[in-house]
Amino acid sequence: MRIKIRTPVAENISVLDDSATIQDLLKLEAIDSLFGEIVIKSGYPPRPIDLKSLDIQLESIGIKNGDKIVVEKQHILRPDVRKDLSSPDPDERHKKSKRRSNLQTTRTGTYYVKLPDYSNMVLREVPSDNSCLFRSFASAFFRDPDQGTKLRQIVSEKVLRDQKTWTGAILGSSPENYAKNVLKDTFWGGAIELQILGKQFGISIQSLDIKTGRIDLFNPGCENFIVVLYSGIHFDCFAITVLNDVDDTDLDITLFDRKKRLFTDDDLKFFAKELNSIKGFVTDPSSIETKCNVCGSILIGEKQVAEHALKTKHTDFGEVSDN
């Protein structure tokens, strides 16, 4: 079998017999050459494997040809802390173990907060190009921000097909007009798009307001969910990574299972508070310059946008270009 191995110093592909054991894995040069205690993780999301039973075959613990494993330096913890971190309930872990870290940044400027179990909450930035909501959703659900264009098409079709739900009163314009406008790359997405996309793909969506710490839930009741981060005018993608190199996105976890909670609502609110402490990170909606893509009017704040839409029936708005 061929296994891709990522260590703190390199990444390579190693070849093992199909009947290889944990002991055979540990003898590989890429792993054997590392100094100190290590932890080996496999699966998705990556989970530590038990290295005590050396004779167990890799296939019996779910490691098969083509899989990727991650090797990290082991954190040495006091026995009482180690016991607390083994709790499946993140609420209990946070009550007993040390608190989260303050906001940190990587060498490339990525923001993250380390959780008590040494995983990291990460803001994965997407471009500010009027499609940030669609890109954030696509990054989280498909792991591909470029799928955002397809999401516009889905929203457009759903609005036209279900006009009993998506009425003109809710949309702010006729369904036909809204369906046409949402296809334009200048059209911003919001609550309507999150609700439609959540229902389309059978997931819930938590939208974390960075300024207030409020968590808005769209299409509730689903087993799986994603999180998007809202900073007043912009959406970014939220991820959990277990890698020490936070800039490495290969093993990001962006689609979450409610039964296997990796973080709590309090964790999200703490993350929002930390991000909000950055000067200029959050944009006040009352001061946003917005352009009407129908007539070209420049409007200041949500109030002017709402008044303009009511007066003119225009519903196609976008960011004012810096150019």
Do 118 and 241 lie in a common domain?
yes
Q: Tell me, what amino acid is at 43?
A: G
User: Per-residue pLDDT for 319 more than 60?
Assistant: yes
Per-residue model confidence (pLDDT) at position 296: 86
Q: How far is residue 146's CA from residue 134's CA, in Å, rounded to a whole number?
A: 9
Domain count, the chain: 3
Asked whether residue 270 falls in the same domain as residue 291, the answer is: no
Of residues 286 and 149, the one with the higher pLDDT is: 149
* String of DSSP letters for 74-130: PP---HHHHHHHT-S-HHHHHHHS--PPPPEE-TT--EEEE-TTS-EEEEE----SS
Q: Which of 242, 258, 276 is the last residue of a domain?
A: 276
Percent of the chain at pLDDT exceeding 90 = 42
Express each pLDDT in 218-254 by its tens digit: 999 999 999 999 998 899 999 999 888 899 888 899 9
Q: What pLDDT, in 10s, does the model give residues 162-206?
A: 999 999 888 988 999 999 999 998 888 899 999 999 999 999 999
Higher pLDDT, 100 or 295: 295
Q: Does residue 133 lie in a domain region?
A: yes
Q: Do 118 and 57 fall within a single domain?
A: no
> Are 126 and 224 within one domain?
yes
**Residue 69 placed within a domain:** yes
- 145 and 254 both lie in a single domain: yes
| Same domain, residue pair 23 and 134 | no
Q: Give me the percent of the chain exceeding a pLDDT of 70.
A: 84
pLDDT of residue 10: 67
* Pair 163, 249 in one domain: yes
Q: pLDDT averaged over the chain?
A: 83
In a domain? residue 88: no
Beta strand pairing call for 224-230 and 204-209: parallel
Q: Are residues 65 and 178 in the same domain?
A: no
* Domain membership flag for residue 96: no
49 neighbors 86 (Cβ within 8 angstroms):
no
47 and 149 share a domain?
no
Same domain, 271 and 289: no
Please give the pLDDT value at position 288.
67
pLDDT at 253: 93
Q: Buried (b) or exposed (e) across 96-110, using 16+ Cβ within 10 A?
A: ebeebeebeeeeeeb
Q: Does residue 240 share a domain with residue 160?
A: yes
Domain of 156?
111-276
CATH number at residue 63: 3.10.20.90
| Tokens 């890429």 belong to residue | 30
The reply to whether 157 and 201 lie within a common domain is yes
